[in-house]
């Protein structure tokens, strides 16, 4: 059995860039992109799945590169009219993007699963790697802040990440069922590597790890687990990662992210600029340029990550004692 399957765990923006790089160098049937759904929410009566959509649009070449979310070539007639009517306009929905939320909501009401809907949308948008929600069950990231408990999008968009974060919970995770295809992939003899994409560890990766069975499957998985640092030079490339780390009492550093993932990691790819932090890290460290601005950057980093995974000797795989 050739080990050719790569599973990428991803949130939105940063993760999607690496997922795109991987999709450009791997055959579609060898890449499974697992999407965080902790950012999902009901808005204007619609079910919105931001990280699924960012991944879908990015892999389809339809992503809005200025905004980092939603679609390119967008028009905003719906939002303009909603504002004129006094509707809730803090979460901006472009006209094309709106169709995804309306159709997803219709299909969910018909009883289709989030995974089934995502597969159909990807097929229709010409996305060939599989984008799989971590679970079909509701998981909602909520943040305890100095302004009280907040739903994720209220914190991230309406309040623009200004509140001080004290704690995060992933409501519903404890009773969510990991998607069976995810657990199957993580225990497959085909598995070549699991890649934790450079997404925010707290809001994009840990909701995935919080789904029962996922962390255990990673600890037991037959292939190397490699993470890419979302922090470069003490700063997140985009979003509130560094601010959140500081507020949660952690150093906003690449090394602190590796420590956060702990024993899950066999290898860790961090930016050349952070070489000074590589000392003493337990995973095998690869230093590389991790800022992805061009498509070529995405492909180069994807190769670096796969090489780092392939270089992990079987004996070196760090795993919790098989419980």
Pull the structure tokens for residue 264: 């899950």
Q: Is 128 helix (H, G, I), strand (E, B) or coil?
A: coil
21 touches ligand FO1 (CB under 6 A): no
97 touches ligand FO1 (CB under 6 A): yes
Strands of the sheet with 140-145, listed across from one edge: 148-151, 140-145, 165-171
Q: Which residue has the tokens 């004996």?
A: 315
Query: Taking Cα atoms as reference points, which of 213, 235, 207 lies closest to residue 291?
Result: 235
Segment near ligand FO1 (CB under 6 A); pick from 92-100, 165-173, 213-221, 256-264: 92-100
Minimal distance, residue 89 CB to ligand FO1, in Å: 9
- Here's the x/- map for ligand FO1, 152-191, by CB under 6 A: it reads as -x--xx----------------------------------
Cα R_g (the chain), whole angstroms:
19
125 touches ligand FO1 (CB under 6 A): no
Q: How many Cβ atoms from other residues are within 10 Å of residue 267's Cβ? A: 26
Let me know: does 213 contact 183? Beta carbons within 8 Å: yes
Q: Residue 271 is inside which H or E element, if any? A: strand 267-271
Residue from 33, 62, 93, 232 touching ligand FO1 (CB under 6 A): that is: 93
Residue from 23, 35, 39, 286 touching ligand FO1 (CB under 6 A): that is: 39
C-alpha distances in Å from residue 153, one per residue of 11, 78, 141: 14, 20, 9
Residue from 92, 107, 303, 318 touching ligand FO1 (CB under 6 A): that is: 92
50 touches ligand FO1 (CB under 6 A): yes
229 touches ligand FO1 (CB under 6 A): no
Number of residues in the chain: 323
Minimal distance, residue 220 CB to ligand FO1, in Å: 29
Nearest CB to ligand FO1, comparing residues 82 and 288:
82
Residues contributing to the site for ligand FO1 (CB under 6 A): 11-12, 39, 50-51, 53-54, 69-70, 91-93, 97, 153, 156-157
């Amino acid at each position: 059995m050739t080990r050719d399957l790569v599973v990428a765990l991803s949130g939105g923006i940063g993760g999607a860039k690496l997922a795109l790089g991987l999709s450009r160098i791997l055959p579609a049937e060898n890449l499974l992109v697992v999407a965080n759904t902790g950012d999902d929410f009901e808005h204007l009566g619609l079910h919105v799945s931001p990280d699924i959509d960012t991944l879908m649009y990015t892999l389809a070449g339809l992503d809005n590169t200025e905004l980092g979310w939603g679609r390119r070539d967008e028009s905003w007639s719906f939002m303009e009219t909603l504002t004129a009517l006094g509707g809730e306009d803090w979460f901006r929905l472009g006209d094309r993007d709106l169709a995804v939320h309306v159709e997803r909501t219709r299909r969910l009401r018909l009883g289709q699963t989030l995974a089934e809907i995502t597969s159909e949308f990807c097929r229709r948008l010409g996305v060939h790697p599989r984008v799989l929600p971590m679970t079909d069950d509701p998981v909602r990231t909520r943040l305890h802040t100095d302004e009280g408990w907040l739903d994720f999008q209220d914190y991230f968009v309406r309040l623009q990440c200004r509140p001080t974060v004290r704690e995060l919970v992933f409501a519903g995770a404890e009773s969510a069922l990991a998607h069976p295809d995810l657990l199957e992939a993580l225990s497959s003899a085909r598995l070549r590597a699991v890649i934790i994409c450079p997404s925010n560890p707290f809001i994009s990766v840990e909701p995935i790890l919080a789904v029962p069975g996922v962390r255990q499957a990673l600890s037991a998985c037959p292939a190397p687990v490699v993470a890419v640092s979302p922090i470069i030079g003490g700063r997140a490339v985009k979003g509130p990662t560094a601010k959140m780390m500081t507020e949660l009492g952690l150093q906003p550093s690449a090394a602190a992210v590796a420590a956060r993932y702990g024993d899950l990691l066999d290898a860790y790819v961090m930016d050349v600029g952070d070489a000074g932090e590589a000392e003493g890290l337990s995973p095998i460290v690869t230093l590389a340029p991790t800022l992805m601005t061009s498509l070529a950057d995405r492909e180069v980093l994807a190769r670096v990550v796969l090489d780092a995974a392939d270089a992990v000797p079987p004996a070196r795989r760090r795993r919790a004692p098989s419980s």
